[in-house]
Structure 1
Amino acid sequence: KRRVQNHIGGVHAVASLVLAESATGFLVGLNVPDDKVPVIKTAHAEYTRRAKGDMTVQAHLTDEQRERMRTEEKGDVSVPVTIHDSEGKEPIEIEMVWAWTPKRR
């Protein structure tokens, strides 16, 4: 849609970053216990080509990362995420690091 396009007709860079943050944040939020708060720590993006058309995003956690979230009081993990455009190519390489800390009482 036009509202998420940049001046060269591709998906705006920040729109694609929001996709990655949403997918990784949702995944981390599902795995962090209720007594902890997930917080984005680092977002690093390398834009390698112009994104074309619809975007899809996939984020993954390993069993080890899930276990750490359940058992460690606080910590951080790098959450692998890939974004593909309508041509099946990856126009952006992203690293999202999420942390978790205890909720304040």
Structure 2
Amino acid sequence: MRKNLKIYKQMRRLPFGDKLFSFVVCRLAPYFDSIKPKVTALQPGYAEVKIKKRRRVTNHLNTVHAIAMCNMAELAGGMMTDVSIPVKSRWIPVGMTVEYLKKAKTDLTAYAQGENIDWNTEGDKLVPVEVKDTEGNLVFRAEITMNVRLT
């Protein structure tokens, strides 16, 4: 089992475990702290990340800023990739294509789904991430290219 997945499962059992795990992730990758994410699901092939709509992530239209959604998509896609690839393998995001589909006026959830990706081969993997608002509306979609190297 991947180290991050083991830590996530252990922390999940604690009170506020999701919040604690998310805090640790942000300590290791400080830029993500700008969106105050909460990892709410993590398993091979799937991850969920939530953010609250608050002033620090909004734009001049009082909607969630495009780059905040990019950050949460990258975090969800990266966490899912990390727990999906074989142990001792490495990965790095090398590109991202995004679509802004609707104004993001509420708290948001990013869903990274990689169940149909062959994680046992090297090379670029296209990781789809969808971001939905609290009403379930799709507001943002990303396709993140993750380069995977097997060791």
| TM-score, normalisation: structure 1 | 0.82
**Paired position in structure 1 for 2:102:** 49
- Counterparts of 1:1-105 in structure 2, within 5 Å, are 1-63=54-116, 65=117, 68-70=118-120, 72=121, 74-102=122-150
In the comparison of the two structures, how many residue pairs are matched? 98
RMSD over aligned CA atoms reads 1.6
Matched-pair identity in %: 31
Equivalent residues of 2:86, 2:150 under 8 A apart: no
Structure with more relative contact order (C-alpha pairs < 8 Å, separation 6 or more)? 1
Cα shift at 1:34? 3.4
Give unpaired runs (5+ residues) of structure 2.
Answer: 1-53
Equivalent residues of 1:69, 1:75 under 8 A apart: no
Give unpaired runs (5+ residues) of structure 1.
Answer: none
Equivalent residues of 1:5, 1:12 under 8 A apart: yes
Cα shift at 1:69? 2.2
2-side partners of 1:27 and 1:88: how far apart?
A: 21
Q: Secondary structure at the match of 1:91?
A: strand
Cα shift at 1:89? 1.1
The letter of the residue matching 1:18 is: N
Equivalent residues of 1:51, 1:85 under 8 A apart: yes
Cα shift at 1:93? 2.0
Q: Secondary structure at the match of 2:56?
A: helix
Equivalent residues of 1:52, 1:87 under 8 A apart: no
Cα shift at 1:102? 4.5
